[in-house]
Amino acid sequence: MKQKLLNVFEDQHAISAKGLARRKFLTQAGGLASVAVLANACKKDKDNNNDGIDLGSGDIGILNYAYALEQLEAAFYTQVVMSQFSGITATETALLTDIRDHEIAHREFFKNALGDKAIPGLEVNFAAINFNSRDSVLGTAKAFEDLGVSAYNGAGKLITDPNYLVLAGKIVSVEARHAALIRDLISNGTFADNTVVDAMGLDLAKAPKDVLTTASSFLKSKINANNLPTS
Amino acid sequence: MNIHNIISEVEKVDPEIYDRLSPRRKVIQQFAKLSGKLALSAVPLALGSLFSKAYGRGTTGTILEVLQYALTLEYLEAEFYTKAVQSGIVPAGAPTGAFTTIRDHENAHVAFLKTAITASGGTPIAKPTFDFSAGNGSNNGPFKDVFTNYTLLLAVAQTFEDTGVRAYKGRAVELMANNDVLTAALQIHSVEARHAAHIRYMRRNLLSNTTIKPWITGKDTGGIGAAVQASYNGEDLTTQATINIVNINGKSISADAASEAFDEPLTDTAVLAIVDPFIV
Closest CA to B250 of A191, A105, A197: A105
d(CA A27, CA B267): 55
Rg (CA), chain A: 19
pTM of the full structure = 0.81
Residue A122 lies in a domain: yes
Q: Which residues of B touch A157 (CB under 8 A)?
A: 179, 182-183
- Could you tell me which chain A residue has the CA closest to the CA of B74? A201
Chain B nearest C-alpha distance from A68 (Å)? 17
Per-residue pLDDT, B77? 98
pLDDT at A87: 97
DSSP chain A: -PPPPP---TTS----HHHHHHHHHHHHHTT---HHHHHHHHHHHHHTT--SEE--SHHHHHHHHHHHHHHHHHHHHHHHHHSPPTT--HHHHHHHHHHHHHHHHHHHHHHHHHGGGPPPPPPB--TT--TT-HHHHHHHHHHHHHHHHHHHHHHGGG--SHHHHHHHHHHHHHHHHHHHHHHHHHSTT-TT-TTTS-TTS------HHHHHHHHGGGBSSPEE-TTS---
Is the CB of B186 less than 8 angstroms away from the CB of A169? yes
Taking only the tens of pLDDT, chain A with its 231 residues reads 333 333 333 333 333 433 444 444 334 443 333 444 444 444 444 444 678 999 999 999 999 999 999 999 999 999 999 999 999 999 999 999 999 999 999 999 999 999 999 999 999 999 999 999 999 999 999 999 999 999 999 999 999 999 999 999 999 999 999 999 999 999 999 999 999 999 999 999 999 999 999 999 999 999 999 999 999
Predicted complex ipTM: 0.81
In a domain, A229, yes or no: no
Q: Which CATH class is domain B63-278?
A: mainly alpha
Question: To the nearest whole angstrom, how far is the Cα of A165 from the nearest Cα of chain B?
Answer: 7
Q: What is the predicted pLDDT for the residue at A39?
A: 42
Residues in A touching B169 (Cβ below 8 Å): 166, 169-170, 173
State the CATH number of the domain containing residue A166.
1.20.1260
Whether A154 maps to a domain, the answer reads yes
Averaged pLDDT in 10-residue chunks for chain B of 280 residues: 37 46 42 38 38 38 90 98 98 98 98 96 96 97 98 98 98 95 98 98 98 98 97 98 98 98 97 97
Contact flag A170-B198 (C-beta cutoff 8 Å): no
d(CA A135, CA B150): 33
Compute the distance between CA of residue B103 and CA of residue A194 in angstroms, rounded to an integer.
14
Rg (Cα) of chain B, in Å, rounded?
Answer: 20
* Residue A20 covered by a domain: yes
Is residue B62 within 8 Å of B70, Cβ to Cβ? Answer: no
| Chain A nearest-CA residue for B112 | A200
Strands A223-224 and A53-54: parallel
**Binary contact (A172, B179; C-beta < 8 A):** no
Domain assignment of residue A168, yes or no: yes
Residue range(s) defining the domain that contains residue A144:
2-224
Residues of chain A with pLDDT > 70: what percent?
79
CB B79 within 8 A of CB B54: no
Length of chain A counted residue by residue? 231
Task: Find out whether B244 and A88 touch, Cβ atoms under 8 Å.
Answer: no
The number of distinct structural domains making up chain A is: 1
In a domain, A231, yes or no: no
Q: State whether the Cα torsion A150-A151-A157-A161 is positive or negative.
A: negative
Give the residue from B73, B182, B186, B244 with the most A CB atoms within 10 Å of its CB, the best one to mutate. B186
Could you report the per-residue pLDDT of A102-139, keeping only the tens digit for each?
999 999 999 999 999 999 999 999 999 999 999 999 99
- Which residues face B26 on adjacent strands? none
In this complex, the residue of B173, B201, B248 whose CB is nearest that of residue A109 is B248
pLDDT of residue A44: 41
The count of CB pairs under 8 A between chains A and B is: 192
Closest chain A residue to B252, measured at CA = A101
Residues on chain A touching B262 (C-beta within 8 angstroms): 105, 170-171, 174
To the nearest whole angstrom, how far is the Cα of A149 from the nearest Cα of chain B? 7
Residue A173, in any domain of the structure: yes
Q: Do A231 and B198 make contact, defined as CB atoms within 8 angstroms? A: no
Does B186 contact A231 at a Cβ distance shorter than 8 Å? no
Identify the closest residue of chain B to A207 by CA–CA distance: B183
**Dist. CA A85–CA A89, nearest whole Å:** 10
